[in-house]
Amino acid sequence: MSLAKTQKIRALIYALAFVAIAGIFMSWDKQRLDDDFDKLYFLLRTARLDALNMDTVIIVKFNGSTVSVFNQKDLSATTTTTIPLITQVDYETHMGNDMIVYTWRGTSDYNRRVHGGEIVLKSLLGFRRYIHVNCNGMVREGRYPENESPH
């Protein structure tokens, strides 16, 4: 085999290896985002159910990538977890920013904005997922409804 052919084959192998590694990295990055999303989604839904079932006020406080869940009766953290891909919490309450306050009716008693707010998760490669918590306390995937028309 000639030297030129060997170099072409070697270049092709390197290119294919690069594409394979890039694909694996993209898949891993997307999986991390999905795992963090699922973890936060479950935590928020559980907080809502706890407020409803225990007839108490549950506070979910965000501090960077740390999320703590408190029961207002004794102000003890029932859950503290790290969700590294949280990049923005756009949720304002009368008790402070970067927290969600659940009652048995939802979050409307404490929200500064009618619909609540959103949390943004962003992966290393820039993939994003959004969680929106509305005034009823329902946790949904998607953006905060800025300009929702009344129906």
pLDDT per residue, tens digit, the chain (151 aa), is 688 888 988 898 989 999 999 999 999 999 999 999 999 999 999 999 999 888 889 999 999 999 999 988 777 778 899 999 999 999 999 988 999 999 988 898 898 887 788 999 999 999 999 999 988 888 999 887 765 544 3
Beta-bridge mates of residue 86? 121
Question: In whole angstroms, what is the distance from residue 131 CA to residue 89 CA?
Answer: 10
pLDDT for the residue 151: 39
90 Cβ partners below 8 Å, 6+ apart? 117, 118, 119, 120, 144
Spatial contact of 67 and 60, defined as CB atoms under 8 Å apart: yes
Domain ranges of the chain: 31-141
CB atoms within 10 A of CB 101: 25
Provide the whole-model pTM. Answer: 0.83
Q: How far is CA 43 from CA 3, 48, 137, in A?
A: 60, 9, 12
Continuous H helices in the chain: 3-54
Architecture of the structural domain at 31-141: 3-Layer(bab) Sandwich (3.55)
Q: What is the pLDDT of residue 146?
A: 64
